[in-house]
Structure 1
Amino acid sequence: MKPKKSIIQAAKRLLIHLILWIFVLIFFSFFIGIESANNPTKFTFSAFFLPVTISTTYIFIYHLIPKFLLPEKYLKFVFYSVYTLIISAVFIIVSAFYGFVLSFGLKWNDNFPISKSIFYIMITIYLVVAIASAFSLLKYNYATSAKNKELQNRILEAQLKLKEQELQYLKMQIHPHFLFNTLNTIYGLSLANNPSTPEMILQLSNLLDYILYQTKKPLVRLEDEVKHIQNYIELEMKRFQEDLKIEFHCEPIPEKIKIAPMLLLPFVENSFKHGKGNDGKLKISIHIKLEEEYLKFEIINSVSESTENSETEGIGLDNIKRRLNILYEKDYELKLENDSEFFQAKLILNTSKLPTDVK
């Protein structure tokens, strides 16, 4: 199939070139032909200049331009161009002589029958060469631009795939934290035959559905993210029982507001995992509100004096920082504050801006 296709393309190219040179011959017959002669004589005389025109044109567009001009070998290009023009000028003079002799059969009157000077004929021929060379340059530039654009698209596609792989990797790192903590809680309650164990299993099932399936979507409703935060809090309340004091406040959220999945939940998980008060009790305060298109999320958890600063953040927040940088770039603001008693995280997110992976 490929050889047949190549033959067809070559035939089309040959036909196009043939038509173009026929137009050039007609052009020559009007501008460098013999005005006093009839049309057949004009065509015959003009046809003698066609071989040198074709040869000069093809030397420029298929040899000098691609071999010297495009690789920026300007000195060699100028040298060989001048050399080509000198040789072609000699052939133009010879072609004019033989064209005149054969067209008139060495029969002329006292007046020289050629109405145009040799210099004018050369200018006309070189004008054709220059136009063809200009189109050739445009073709090379277009082809180069198309290749560069294709290369840029491939680079962007590769970067996008790497970004998606990195996001999936970050999500996979986050998931085990939820499962590990929640399963430990259910295991402890099952040992005590706690009647709330089935309810916790159902809540865990909802969390698993969200983590394993909903997070594959580029966007989820903010309302769903908040709902699963509440489910996670309820699970942890059963685990901590009297050792937990939590305050959760969320203003009404319109259904149309969407964010990238698993952006807020890791903050909550981090607070439960690394938070601890000096009195042995964990205190957490969570506030979620919308101001126009901006989501403002704030979470504060108690920490003990013995807890190291690096431990209060953990791998969960490192991942969420990286995800925010990838997804929202400059459309968010994250502030983390840590002192001897409390760890605080404030996130301001522009919900009107789509994450980069869904643009």
Structure 2
Amino acid sequence: MKRKKTILKYLLTFCGHLLFWIVIYNFYAYFLGYGSSNTEYVKLFSIFLMPVTILISYFLIYYLIPNYLLTKKYMYFILYSIYTFIISVYVIILSIMYGLIYSEGYKEVDTAAPLTKTLPFIVLGVYFVVLIIVSFSLIMHNYNSIVSNENLNNKILQTQLQIKDQELRFLKMQIHPHFLFNSLNTIYGFALNKSDEAPEMILKLSNLLDYILYQIEKPHVLLIDEINHLLDYVALEKMRFHDTLKVETKIEVVNNTIQIAPMLLIPFVENAFKHGNIINGSLNVIIKIKCVANNLFFEIENTSIAEKNSNSGIGLDNITKRLEMLYPNSYILEALQTESSFKVKLTINNLNKFKNE
């Protein structure tokens, strides 16, 4: 199949060249015999100009231009072009002389000269054709270069998108085990103590698993669904900490159609519980989520002892990388550590801009 396509390609190229030279032959016949009635003489004479025109044109477009002009060897190109011009003028004159001799038999007696152009005009006519061919060749080369560059850029872009998608999948795979490990440990502790809250915790975890399995692979989910997922996680942590955890949430989302990348906020909440410290008998966590005019404002603050809290881990590292890939130049992430608290502020501007990306 591939061989047939190659043969067809060469056949079409050959037919294209043949048709082009037929057009050039008719141009010579018209140009040299304009106003003459002796068409047989002009047509025969025009044949003698075709080989030299073809030779000069193909030498320029297939050897001189690719090897010297396009490779920016301008001095060699100018030098060889001068040689080519001198030699080609000599060959053109020989072709004209032979054409005049062999066409003499077709010259009608007592008629005007069958050729309406003088020798200099014939030479200029040949170079005019060569110039057109060279110009067309350069235009086609430029066009093919643009197409090749676009194809190369498209391939590079596709490769970058594939890499980006693989990186996001890898980051999500890191988030899942981390999150599930913490949740299952909590349920395991309740099961060992035969707590009555264990069934409710399992139900909450079931909702979270449903979200992960069926929503996480989507590029974007509704912000309200992401918030509900976050609140289910908070509910699990409340059961685990009992009276030692105090969580205050303030949520203001007017537009329920706003979308966001899944599992984007949960690592901040997870780190607040993981790295937070119990001070004066309780771990206090304040979560604020506000969405105004497609701009998201997220803030979380937890009690923390500065010298003991590094606030590091897979979660925060991953979320920073995801933000850079998903919302480049459209987010602001700030972290502030005080003597007794750690606060993170995240702002994402114009969420709808990235909705279909």
Q: Is the TM value for this pair above 0.5?
A: yes
How do residues 219-238 of structure 1 correspond to structure 2 at under 5 angstroms?
219-238=220-239
Are residues 1:340 and 2:339 paired?
yes
Q: Residue 184 of structure 1: CA displacement?
A: 1.5
Q: Deviations over 1:227-269 (max 9, x none)?
A: 0111111111111001011111112442211000111111111
Q: Counterpart in 2 of 1:286?
A: 287
Q: Is the 8 A contact 1:263 1:320 kept in 2?
A: yes
What code does the residue aligned with 2:277 have?
K
Q: Is the 8 A contact 1:223 1:253 kept in 2?
A: no
What code does the residue aligned with 1:228 have?
H
Q: Is the 8 A contact 1:221 1:255 kept in 2?
A: yes
Task: Find the residue that maps to 2:290 and give its secondary structure.
Answer: strand
Q: Deviations over 1:262-298 (max 9, x none)?
A: 1111111110111113324200111111222211111
Q: Residue 218 of structure 1: CA displacement?
A: 0.2
In 1, Cα distance between equivalents of 2:197 and 2:255:
32
- The 3 A distance-change label for structure 1 pair 126 and 270 is same
Q: Counterpart in 2 of 1:15?
A: 15
Q: TM-score by structure 2 length? A: 0.93
In 2, Cα distance between equivalents of 1:184 and 1:62:
73
In 2, Cα distance between equivalents of 1:151 and 1:334:
35
In 2, Cα distance between equivalents of 1:176 and 1:68:
60
Task: Find the residue that maps to 2:203 and give its secondary structure.
Answer: helix
In 2, Cα distance between equivalents of 1:135 and 1:5:
25
In 2, Cα distance between equivalents of 1:305 and 1:105:
109
In 2, Cα distance between equivalents of 1:126 and 1:303:
85
What code does the residue aligned with 1:334 have?
L
Q: Is the 8 A contact 1:89 1:122 kept in 2?
A: yes
CA RMSD in angstroms comes to 2.1
Q: Deviations over 1:105-128 (max 9, x none)?
A: 397779876432221111111111
Of 323-332 and 15-24, deviating more is 15-24
Q: Residue 209 of structure 1: CA displacement?
A: 2.0
Q: Is the 8 A contact 1:277 1:341 kept in 2?
A: no
Q: Counterpart in 2 of 1:213?
A: 214
User: Where does the alignment leave 5 or more consecutive residues of structure 1 unmatched?
Assistant: none
In 2, Cα distance between equivalents of 1:354 and 1:186:
40
In 2, Cα distance between equivalents of 1:69 and 1:303:
69
Of 84-93 and 97-106, deviating more is 97-106
Task: Find the residue that maps to 1:115 and give its secondary structure.
Answer: coil
Q: Is the 8 A contact 1:301 1:342 kept in 2?
A: yes
Q: Is the 8 A contact 1:328 1:354 kept in 2?
A: no
Q: Counterpart in 2 of 1:264?
A: 265
Task: Find the residue that maps to 1:49 and give its secondary structure.
Answer: helix
What code does the residue aligned with 1:29 have?
A
Q: Deviations over 1:306-343 (max 9, x none)?
A: 423xx224331121111111100011111111111111
- The 3 A distance-change label for structure 1 pair 42 and 339 is same
Of 238-247 and 289-298, deviating more is 289-298
Q: Is the 8 A contact 1:248 1:287 kept in 2?
A: yes
**Identity across the alignment (%):** 46
In 1, Cα distance between equivalents of 2:106 and 2:20:
32
Q: TM-score by structure 1 length? A: 0.93
Q: Is the 8 A contact 2:41 2:106 kept in 1?
A: no
Are residues 1:170 and 2:190 paired?
no
Q: Is the 8 A contact 1:257 1:351 kept in 2?
A: no
Q: Residue 226 of structure 1: CA displacement?
A: 0.6
What code does the residue aligned with 2:160 have?
Q
Q: Counterpart in 2 of 1:4?
A: 4
In 1, Cα distance between equivalents of 2:44 and 2:256:
82
In 2, Cα distance between equivalents of 1:215 and 1:20:
59
Q: Is the 8 A contact 1:29 1:42 kept in 2?
A: yes
Of 109-118 and 7-16, deviating more is 109-118
Q: Counterpart in 2 of 1:58?
A: 58
Are residues 1:155 and 2:156 paired?
yes
- The 3 A distance-change label for structure 1 pair 3 and 167 is closer
Q: Deviations over 1:32-61 (max 9, x none)?
A: 237445111111122211111111111111
Aligned length: 356
In 1, Cα distance between equivalents of 2:54 and 2:204:
82
Q: Is the 8 A contact 1:331 1:353 kept in 2?
A: no
Q: Is the 8 A contact 2:249 2:286 kept in 1?
A: yes
Q: Deviations over 1:126-177 (max 9, x none)?
A: 1111111111111222222222212111211111111112112222222223
Q: Is the 8 A contact 2:61 2:137 kept in 1?
A: yes
Of 37-46 and 333-342, deviating more is 37-46
In 1, Cα distance between equivalents of 2:60 and 2:286:
77
In 1, Cα distance between equivalents of 2:148 and 2:234:
54
Q: Deviations over 1:63-108 (max 9, x none)?
A: 1111221111222222222222222211221222222222223977
In 2, Cα distance between equivalents of 1:12 and 1:82:
34
User: Where does the alignment leave 5 or more consecutive residues of structure 2 unmatched?
Assistant: none
Q: Counterpart in 2 of 1:81?
A: 81
Q: Residue 347 of structure 1: CA displacement?
A: 1.1
Task: Find the residue that maps to 1:251 and give its secondary structure.
Answer: strand
Q: Counterpart in 2 of 1:124?
A: 125
- The 3 A distance-change label for structure 1 pair 300 and 67 is same
